[in-house]
Amino acid sequence: KYIVGVAILPNSKILEEEFKEETKQQENKEKPNPKEIGVFILIDDSDSKKMSKFELKDKLTTIIEKNAKEIDPNFKAIIMLLSELKENCFDAKYGVLEALALSAIFYDPSDILAALKISEVHKKMTLKKFEKYIVSYVAAGSLFRGEKSNDIDVYLVVDDTDVKKMSRLELKDKLRAIIIGLGYDASKITGINKAFHIQVYILTDFWESLKD
């Protein structure tokens, strides 16, 4: 009941930043395995009341790593708690999202991995197109809160403070059309057919809303 997602990573070392200390310890003990297969396992710790999240992770890690080695010595189990994933995003550590964008999803009953994958791909495409103008890219909505949902919701804040050639309304409409178009492209690239809703805000309006 704790497993909310399983994915195969193209390279387990892609998460080196998030698992820096663990990686260093292992590198001192053993040589890198060129045949290693990274298996990412996401654990839901939101209702863990009998033990701390660290105790839960340690307990499940021991069992999962043992099972992985019994199935295939080349399997490298990478276990992450849902709360850790959120904390990484709050701390601007996006390595795990980059890894999931390139992953093959094998188990995802709540669609959380699918949501993270398509959002990360779309984020990369949007940043490539607009570079410095993207202030924030945020995953929102019920699915990211751990609830079952039929759609994926994200919103973007775009800096319009140095745009002088068009009105705010024109700018918002133009940006919205392009960014939503990139959302359709992200759906095709990832093969994720779940409804992908993108809300675009321009920074000036965003601040006005906060003041109101």
Residue 14's pLDDT band, with cuts at 50, 70 and 90, is low
Cα gap 50→86, rounded to integer Å? 22
Output the pLDDT for position 21: 47
Contact assessment for residue 78 and residue 42, using Cβ atoms and an 8 Å cutoff: no
Global pTM value = 0.84
pLDDT digits (tens, 9 = 90+) for 42-68: 998 887 777 888 888 899 999 999 999
Determine which of 11-20, 128-137, 202-211 has the lowest per-residue pLDDT on average: 11-20
User: Measured on CA atoms in the order 188, 40, 76, 98, is the torsion positive or negative?
Assistant: positive
Residue 17, pLDDT > 90, answer no
Q: Are strands 195-202 and 104-107 parallel, antiparallel or unpaired?
A: unpaired
The tokens for 164 are 């002088």
* R_g (Cα) of the chain, nearest Å: 19
Note the helical H segments in the chain: 20-29, 53-71, 82-90, 95-101, 112-130, 168-190, 203-211
Cα gap 1→112, rounded to integer Å? 15
